[in-house]
């Protein structure tokens, strides 16, 4: 294990990756049933044997280019601290109405406890209530944790702890907060909406990482819809205002409630490079009723709020001139819809112009190739049969026949906490 502490530092979506947190899907995925899938926010059940192999391609690429950490390993490390363990377990059990199992959890060794907090704590049927319970777990499995993006967000030297839209994901945020606050390898300031804002409005705050994108050190792009509320964005504005810096910008993109594939901004828009972005054209560039709002903050106050025509035009006014690449290609809207459904707009940059995405979205990949991105298969990159130079534009494609059915792509499954600063 490394001895030097890694400071959180993210000032763009595409600076060279230096630190990322992932979670390889495990037993928590296999514990899903048709009955619990909807409660777990899934529309289908994943085949872990296939999804696990596909995920190893993603992790293999990340491990070649960056420090890559597993949530379970980091959590196990912080649970060796008795004070942290006691506080975290108390909070989890209190939040989930499971204080009766707290004493037994305290007795489990750190590695096994980390596994159970993610994979679920099976119910002990040692009294009548638990014997008759229809539940299988005292603490439910965290089916969504492979999407590490949502529970925490890095911006500059801070980590915003997610205020999840659905209670089934609250434990993910508690775990990520404990990791960033207490892991000896990580150096970060955490900002938690629940800790910072004690007013009644904090109950309405929702903010998830899939909606939170760092365009530049002074520009955030945030989606608002089913998972991130306007009060969640107002919380971010308040944090920026409190620093009283010269000029900061937040561009807000409104999202529709349906279909479910529009759940986060990164399902319809992602940054690929200083001058390129991936878009789902009908929503981002088409004529629609969804607002794009530019908010400027100066010296601790909102100096103006203006509506813009669309996201790329709003960014262009700030000197970020992006050429849009169309998810699904430009042949027809049906292909665009089909590939967007399977996270065709959801790319993760490991460096400027070097991105990871699903190979199954063939029309999107072909469109990227037309825009100068060389197509490299993940397995060839991992084995060394294909190499990339620093200035080379490329898309590294990972298998996703099963993973994509979980409702997220490469960006959803990665939580970057450190990137090299960019020169603009």
| Residue 424 placed within a domain | no
What is the tens place of the pLDDT at every residue in 285-330? 988 789 999 999 999 999 999 999 999 999 999 999 999 999 999 9
Backbone angles phi, psi at 128, to 5 degrees: -65, -40
Rounded CA gap, 294 and 296, in Å?
A: 7
pLDDT in tens, 194-245: 886 555 455 589 999 999 999 999 999 999 999 999 999 999 999 999 999 9
Distances (CA, A) of 235 to 44, 250, 351, 376: 34, 12, 30, 40
Cis status of the peptide bond prior to 404, with omega within 30 of 0? no
CB 41, CB 168: distance < 8 Å: yes
Phi, psi for residue 318 in degrees, rounded to 5: -100, 10
C-alpha 72 chain-centroid distance: 17
pTM, entire model: 0.95
347 with 396: CB under 8 angstroms?
no
Looking at the chain, the whole-number percentage of residues with pLDDT higher than 70 is: 94
The CATH number of the domain where 175 resides is what?
A: 3.75.10.10
pLDDT of residue 200: 46
Q: Is 225 exposed, middle or buried (0-12, 13-18, 19+ CB in 10 A)?
A: buried
User: Which residues neighbour 94 within 8 Å (Cβ) at sequence distance 6 or greater?
Assistant: none
What is the rounded CA–CA span in Å between residue 406 and residue 424?
Answer: 36
**Measured between alpha carbons, how far is 293 from 302 in angstroms, rounded to an integer?**
13
Domain region containing 371: 6-419
Give the tens place of pLDDT for each residue, 336-365.
999 999 999 999 999 999 999 999 999 999
β-strands 354-358, 394-398 pairing: parallel
d(CA 202, CA 125): 37
Residues 148-191 have pLDDT tens digits of: 999 999 999 999 999 999 999 999 999 999 999 999 999 999 99
**E strands present in 309-351:** 323-326, 348-351
Distance of CA 79 to the CA centre of its chain: 23
Pair of tokens at residue 411: 């960006």
Q: How far apart are CA 59 and CA 277, in angstroms?
A: 23
- Tally of domains in the chain: 1
In a domain, 56, yes or no: yes
Element (H, E) at 304: strand 301-308
Measure Cα distances from 3 to 6, 41, 184 in Å: 9, 38, 9
Q: Does 1 fall in a domain? A: no
pLDDT tens column, 87-116: 999 999 999 999 999 999 999 999 999 999
């Amino acid at each position: 294990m490394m001895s030097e502490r890694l400071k959180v530092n993210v000032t763009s979506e595409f600076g060279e990756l230096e630190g990322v947190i992932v979670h390889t899907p495990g037993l928590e995925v296999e514990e899903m049933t048709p009955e619990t899938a909807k409660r777990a926010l899934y529309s289908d059940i994943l085949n872990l044997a296939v999804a696990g192999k596909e995920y190893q391609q993603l992790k293999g690429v990340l491990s070649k280019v960056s420090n890559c950490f597993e949530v379970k390993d980091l959590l196990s490390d912080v649970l060796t601290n008795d004070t942290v363990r006691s506080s975290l377990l108390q909070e989890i059990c209190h939040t989930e109405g499971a204080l009766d199992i707290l004493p037994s959890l305290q007795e489990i060794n750190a590695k096994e406890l980390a596994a159970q907090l993610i994979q679920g704590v099976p119910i002990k049927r040692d009294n009548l209530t638990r014997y008759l319970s229809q539940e299988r777990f005292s603490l439910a499995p965290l089916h969504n944790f492979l999407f590490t993006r949502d529970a925490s967000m890095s911006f500059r030297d801070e980590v915003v702890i997610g205020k999840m839209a659905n209670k089934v994901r609250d434990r993910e945020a508690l775990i990520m907060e404990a990791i960033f606050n207490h892991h000896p390898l990580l150096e970060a300031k955490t900002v938690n909406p629940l800790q910072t804002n004690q007013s009644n409005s904090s109950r309405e705050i929702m903010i998830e990482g899939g909606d939170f994108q760092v365009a530049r050190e002074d520009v955030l792009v945030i989606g608002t819809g089913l998972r991130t509320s306007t009060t969640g964005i107002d919380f971010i504005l308040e944090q920026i205002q409190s620093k009283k810096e010269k000029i900061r910008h937040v561009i807000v993109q409104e999202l529709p409630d349906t279909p479910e594939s529009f759940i986060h901004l990164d399902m319809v828009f992602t940054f690929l490079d200083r001058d390129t972005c991936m878009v789902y054209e009908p929503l981002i560039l088409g004529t629609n009723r969804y607002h794009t709002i530019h908010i400027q903050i100066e010296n601790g106050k909102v100096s103006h709020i203006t509506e813009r025509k669309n996201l790329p035009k709003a960014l262009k006014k700030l000197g970020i001139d992006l050429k849009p690449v169309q998810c699904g290609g430009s042949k027809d809207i049906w292909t665009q819809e089909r590939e967007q459904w399977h996270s065709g707009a959801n790319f993760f940059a490991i460096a400027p112009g070097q991105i990871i995405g699903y190979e199954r979205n063939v029309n999107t990949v072909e469109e990227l190739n037309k825009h100068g991105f060389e197509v490299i298969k993940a397995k060839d990159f991992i084995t060394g049969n294909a190499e990339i130079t620093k200035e080379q534009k490329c898309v590294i494609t990972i298998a996703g026949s099963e993973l994509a059915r979980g409702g997220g792509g490469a960006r959803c499954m990665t939580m970057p906490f450190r990137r090299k600063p960019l020169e603009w």
